[in-house]
């Protein structure tokens, strides 16, 4: 069961998807993670914190249905009910889009907290898609989190940024300030290319795990379907024949407590041709 | 087939791969980042810069004139500060 019941109050979980560095797959991960939770029947809302540069709506294919956004709700210009977009494919999923026009300071802490509290009445999981960087928008996405998916590419600048983000999660969040149990961190390694790892051209899962020293939730292989699924506005987890999609399915299952082996960590077995002529 | 692969790896191991370079560089960077923020002391680099600024009002010193060291002894934390003045300073 996703939610913990205390009397009549549903305690929902707030999960931030963060990375520091841009372009590593935060929004791709947010969209697929939230979709996966909802596909398994958990009431889930995913919020785009990237005020001024929204893109979660595009990845989830609902850009034409955005009328009101997160900042409208914070400012009291629209109700949550008006601003939440119900996903067309997955019933349990809702999206709260970022504002396209205002600047990041529109995310006032009291306002963000009020909206999160209101969402917590209705949803089991609140997924916060953080913008890149460690400016105000990213800090707000992280501040209220119970758990964090730290999205990392096997590449030096991404790993360094992830470590900085881990520092922030352990010192600048509500849990840190109120001396509550620390934010639970999960490593999500994206754009993994086992062939290049074999050649010694790319950091391995183990390298990144050793350096960042947080539990591994999932490894998403580099895959052409991440781009093609974004072209069509369908989160990659919803594709039937995508390795990246299957890896996200596994990731969601593990998050919910299932034991699943990590897949796609090694180079695919070669066919007859490869066996005859390859090394 | 297996022989071939193992020989191949044997030769390859002689030169460092870029991935192992990346790993070594990151280990240093991350150790440094973590030392700075251990127990909430992530202000140390800024403190060092500001102290340098104050000292430079009076004497000319290099960037490495200040050495800082945090020592932990049980529940006690000691911030050790070493400021090296140039030999001619003052007199």
Whole-model pTM? 0.80
3-state secondary structure of A101: coil
What pLDDT was estimated at residue B1? 46
What pLDDT was estimated at residue B88? 66
Nearest to B37 among A156, A167, A204 (CB): A167
Residue B26 with chain A: CB contacts under 8 Å? 156, 159-160, 203, 207, 211
**A266: Cβ–Cβ under 8 A, 6 or more apart, which residues?**
A194
B42 and A156: CB-CB below 8 Å?
no
* Range A254-268 average pLDDT: 93
Which of B16, B23, B43 has the most A C-beta neighbours within 10 Å, making it the best mutation to test the interface with A?
B23
Model confidence over A154-207: pLDDT tens digits? 999 999 999 999 999 998 899 988 888 999 999 999 999 999 999 999 999 999
CA angle, A229 as apex, A159 and A120 as ends, to 5°?
A: 70
CA closest to A157 among chain B residues: B26
Query: What are the distances in angstroms from CA B31 to CA A238, B28, B60, B66?
Result: 39, 5, 31, 20
**A117: Cβ–Cβ under 8 A, 6 or more apart, which residues?**
none
Residue A163 with chain B: CB contacts under 8 Å? 29-30, 33-34
Query: Would the ipTM clear 0.85, i.e. be above it?
Result: no
Percentages helix, strand, coil for chain A, rounded to the nearest 5? 40, 20, 40
How many angstroms separate the CA atoms of B50 and B68, rounded?
Answer: 13
How many angstroms separate the CA atoms of A38 and A90, rounded?
Answer: 7
B33 and A212: CB-CB below 8 Å?
no
Tell me what the pLDDT averaged over chain A comes to. 92
Give residue A275's pLDDT band: very low, low, confident or very high (50, 70, 90).
low
Give residue A254's pLDDT band: very low, low, confident or very high (50, 70, 90).
very high
Model confidence over A196-252: pLDDT tens digits? 999 999 999 999 999 999 999 999 999 999 999 999 999 999 999 999 999 999 999
Specify burial of residue A204 (Cβ count, 10 A radius: 0-12, 13-18, 19+): buried
Query: What are the phi and psi torsion angles at A259 (to 5°)?
Result: -90, 120
Give the distance from residue B79's alpha carbon to the nearest chain A alpha carbon, in angstroms: 20
């Amino acid at each position: 069961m996703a939610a913990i019941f205390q009397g009549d109050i549903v305690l929902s979980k707030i999960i931030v998807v963060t990375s520091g560095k841009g372009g590593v797959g935060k929004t791709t991960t947010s969209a697929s993670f939230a979709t996966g939770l909802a596909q398994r029947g958990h009431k889930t809302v995913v919020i785009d914190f990237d005020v001024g540069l929204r893109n979660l709506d595009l990845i989830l294919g609902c850009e034409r249905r955005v009328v009101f956004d997160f900042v409208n709700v914070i400012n009291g210009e629209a109700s949550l009910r008006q601003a939440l977009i119900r996903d067309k494919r997955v019933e349990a999923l809702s999206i709260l889009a970022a504002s396209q026009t205002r600047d990041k300071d529109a995310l006032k802490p009291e306002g963000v907290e009020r909206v999160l509290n209101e969402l917590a009445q209705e949803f089991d999981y609140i997924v916060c898609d953080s913008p890149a960087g460690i400016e105000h928008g990213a800090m707000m996405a992280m501040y209220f989190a119970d758990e964090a998916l730290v999205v990392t590419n096997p590449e030096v600048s991404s790993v360094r940024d992830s470590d900085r983000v881990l520092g922030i999660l352990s010192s600048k969040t509500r849990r840190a300030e109120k001396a509550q149990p620390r934010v639970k961190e999960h490593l999500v390694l994206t754009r993994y290319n086992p062939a290049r790892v074999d050649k010694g051209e790319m950091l391995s899962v183990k390298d990144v795990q050793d350096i960042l020293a947080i539990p591994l939730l999932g490894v998403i292989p580099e895959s052409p379907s991440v781009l093609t699924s974004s072209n069509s506005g369908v989160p990659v987890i919803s594709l039937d024949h995508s390795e990246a999609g299957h890896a996200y399915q596994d990731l969601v299952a593990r998050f919910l407590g299932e034991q699943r082996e990590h897949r796609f960590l090694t180079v695919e077995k070669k066919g007859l041709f490869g066996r005859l002529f390859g090394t | 087939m297996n022989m071939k692969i193992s020989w191949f790896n044997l030769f390859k191991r002689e030169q460092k791969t870029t991935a192992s370079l990346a790993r070594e560089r990151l280990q240093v960077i991350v150790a440094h980042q973590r030392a700075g923020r251990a127990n909430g002391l992530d202000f140390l680099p800024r403190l060092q810069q500001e102290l340098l600024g104050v000292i430079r009002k009076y004497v000319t010193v290099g960037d490495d004139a200040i050495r800082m060291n945090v020592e932990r002894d049980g529940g006690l934390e000691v911030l050790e500060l070493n400021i090296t003045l140039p030999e001619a300073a003052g007199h």
